[in-house]
Structure formats: C-alpha cells, structure tokens
Structure 1
C-alpha cells in the first residue's frame, strides 16, 4: 500500500509530498493525522529548518478533502492537514503548488508562509458547490489576504483562478517556469537557510501574532469546528457529496 504522505530530508529541507495522485492528492482523515505527526516531528527537530509541501504527479497539488472516503471522520486536534488549528510552529513553510489547489488544498497553501506555483496551477474554494464551506481556514484567512469583495467573490461562487491571477493578487509569491515549481521552492528554501534560524522563527512568530492574534484566532477556530459539525449533519452536505460521487447536479433543500 502506497504511503499517503511521503517525506524526504536534504540539507535541512524537509520535503513533504501528498502522495495520492489517483485521488488528485485529496486528503482523508488518516492523511491529516499523518501530516499532523510529520509537522510535530518537524517542529521538534532542529536539523530540519524549512519544509516544502507539494503534491505527487503533475495534475494536482491537493484537491481538498476526500469527498468519498471517511468525509465525516474527525480531524486531528491540530486541524485540517495538521496545520489549520496548530500554534507555535514558527519554522518556515513553503507550498510548491504543482497543479490544482482546490478547497482544502488551497487552504493548505494559505497556511504556508511562501507560495510558489507552476503556471498550470489554479486556486479555488469550491466547497459550496458540494454543500460545504471553506472551514479548514479558507473563510477565516482569505478576507485578510485580499480585499473583502475579492475574497467574498471567491468564497460565494466557488470560482477558480489561474496562478498568474493569484500572483497578481499577492496570493502567490512566484510563478515558476513550467515543471520547475519544486526547484523554485528549493531556491526560496536555500535563501531561508542562509539566514539565522532563530531570526526566521522570531520573525514568523511576530508576523503571525500581528496578522492572526490569539484573541481572534481561538474563537474563530472554535467556530470552524462548530460550523463543520453542523454542516456535516445537514442534508445538503450529504446531497452534495452524493451528487459529486454520482457526477450529477445536486438538488439543494437548504436543510
């Protein structure tokens, strides 16, 4: 059985690869717990200074939550992908977005500090189209990354945008040459490795406290959990997942 997540450490850089290419690297609950353990070890290992997160294959970075497999299983305490409710991880995280970053996949990228993208990559939060919402950090974070109306236009339509548009809006640091996103991410990592480790960690610690203060983060994370539990019980969420699996248009009831 293939690993859900594969890892490799080279010269202080931890490369984390979401390894479900046949499912567009979507994450099930088991993969999220596995990621949580990986981030725990990364946080505690002083020899691992920077992490790069990417997807296997050339089609998808991550297509979000697996809608077919154990959709209603609980997440780890650290939240979606082992990151969305995590605090204290002050080492740099780089997303190397090699293809689709949809739903929880884009949320995972948003939870990183630097985002580089292949020109073929695209970004979107299509959860409402399947009866759900971007409660893995997307609805909480996006309005602080771009102007409110841009954020709401994306959150309320499920539309996607290409890498170049995401870069223009400041949601992507760099668009790589085609097929070179991992190499570009490693160049960013090398620049980080040339800096003092504690200086980077303290810079991130202060930046996170400024952009996402604990006084707001904790109640919003609690709200995410509450809303997730409520939506999972809704008829529309189960109708959305059934329609997705059956490749048909959903029939919404508002319940």
Structure 2
C-alpha cells in the first residue's frame, strides 16, 4: 500500500510511524485512519517487528484530532478512527511520542498506545463538546479508567486544555521529555523493551488489558490468557536465566 498521509521506517525490530499532515496539524481524516489501520495490521502480523513508535511529523502536533474540514461521503473508508482506537488487539508494545498538540481524536489515538511520553511543549485535551461532539473514539472510557473519574469529567465536560506538567501530575502520560529529545527517548524505551522476552511482554499486555482478577488462582492463569500459554510453552525462561548467569544479552528465539 502506498501511503499519502503517514510515513514509516523500520530499524531491525522497531517500526516507526509518523502521521504526516503537518500543514493540517496532523489532523486525521478517513484516509489517514485507513492507512494507520493498514500499517498497524502489518505490525501485528509481522513476526520480525516487536515494538512500534507512533508520532507526528513536524514540531507542532502529534495530532489535532479529527479533520473537521473533511466533508464526509459514502466513499469514505469504514475503519476505526486512527486505525487502532477500537477493534484492534495487539500484544506488541506501542509507544506514543507526543510532540505538541494531542487533542480530541489525537489524544484518543495516543491513549490507545501502551506508553505515552510527551515533550515539554505538548498540550492535551478533549475540546469536542465545543463543536457539538464528544470523545467517541474511546477517549471518554479510556480516560475514566486511566485517571480519577472526577478529573476525567473535568477534562471531558469543559473541553479545557492542559500542558505536559498537568498531564503528568494526573497520570495521563508516562514521562515528560525535552522537545528535542522526544524521539531519542522513545527509541531508548523501545530498545529497553527489545531486551525483554517478546513472549513475556505479550503475556503482560494481555493480563493488563484484560484485568486479571486479584482473587483468581495464579495456578490457573493459563486457562485465562493465551499469551501466557505461549510463554510457558517456550524456552524463554531458560534463555533468560542462562544469559543472566553468563552476564550477556539474551537472544530470544
């Protein structure tokens, strides 16, 4: 597929994806959503790719959200907003590197990633109510799970914007990074993940997102989580233990 609205690059096991509409603050139209869905499906199915970074081209915006200037038509691709805000299950890690504005659907897309780092010049918010919309691409539900309900309601009902420090204080983001270092830090995190067992990473993601019950018998965990079965049936523990004993980096099969 030839992409018009996104850019991609691959470095060994790391996939980098950039929303590439800087003249429109990386606003997302249906075609962009289709391209994002396609590349993330490729990421999911390619066994050689283990981690993805999602960011926006330019210095002003990760994504300003839904492209309100787009005139909807019956020919628009019928895909989830941003490609992964719904109907997308992938147990490989995705890092959002927010550089600038992450508003509305742009913030919903960032919240669909596993780790969210932001530059010190970033701005966050759900301004949808001010144009007669709401955070309907999963933003309202995800935000209410991520931060205290009253704080979520304060953001969602007022449409107010907050900066990186405020976002970090309420637990909306993972960490703040100087703007010039945002991609460098995202790649550092990706490389830290790549040192880990990919099967252990997948099992962890599945447990986190499917809310493992605290009263569940740990001995029966394989009955609940398919990714845990894959890990338990692998040789990864022996590989990791041997590498640790020999003070060397493990080579995962």
Same fold (TM over 0.5): yes
Name the CA distance, whole Å, in 2 between partners of 1:62 and 1:86.
20
> Alignment partner of 2:209: what SS?
helix
Q: CA offsets per residue over residues 38-76 of structure 1, 9 Å max, x none?
A: 111000001111000000000000000000013466564
Q: Who is 1:227 aligned against?
A: none
Counterpart for residue 90 of structure 1 = 91
What SS does the corresponding residue of 1:123 show, helix, strand or coil? Answer: strand
Assess, with a 3 A threshold, how the Cα gap between structure 1 residues 25 and 177 changes in structure 2: closer, same or farther: same
The count of residues paired between Structure 1 and Structure 2 equals 210
CA–CA separation in structure 1 for the residues paired with 2:202 and 2:77: 27
Pair 8,54 (structure 1): closer, same or farther in 2 beyond 3 Å = same
Distance in 2 (CA, whole Å) between partners of 1:47 and 1:35 is 19
Give the distance between the partners of 2:95 and 2:110, measured in 1 at CA. 8
Alignment of 1:177 with 2:172, yes or no, is no
Q: Does the residue aligned with 1:144 lie in a helix, a strand or coil?
A: helix
Q: Distance between the aligned counterparts of 1:72 and 1:131, measured in 2?
A: 20
Residue of structure 2 equivalent to 1:13? 14
The answer on 1:159 being equivalent to 2:160 is yes
Query: 1:188/1:177 Cα in 2 relative to 1: closer, same or farther (>3 Å)?
Result: same
Change (3 A) 1:150 1:37: same
- Whether 1:134 aligns to 2:139 is no
- What secondary structure, in the 3-state scheme, does the structure 2 residue paired with 1:82 have? coil
SS in 2 for 1:195: coil
Measured in 1, the distance between the counterparts of 2:81 and 2:87 equals 9
Q: Which residue of structure 2 lines up, in the alignment, with residue 119 of structure 1?
A: 120
Equivalent position of 1:242 in the other structure: none
Q: TM-score, normalised by structure 1?
A: 0.79
**Aligned counterparts, 1:26-175, within 5 A:** 26-71=27-72, 76-77=78-79, 79-175=80-176
Unaligned runs of 5+ in 1: 212-255
d(CA) in 1 for partners of 2:77 and 2:132?
19
Which protein is bigger by CA-based radius of gyration?
Answer: 2
CA RMSD of aligned residues (A): 1.6
TM-score (norm 2): 0.80
Contact 1:19 1:56 in 2 (8 A): yes
Kindly indicate whether structure 1 or structure 2 has the higher relative contact order, using CA contacts under 8 Å at least 6 residues apart: 1
> Please, which runs of 5 or more residues in structure 2 have no aligned partner?
213-253
How far is 1:87 from its partner? Answer: 3.6
CA-to-aligned-CA distance 1:124-169 (integer Å, 9 cap, x gap): 0000111111001111111111111100000001001101111111
Give the superposition deviation at 1:170.
Answer: 1.2
Q: Distance in 2 between matches of 1:88 and 1:62?
A: 22
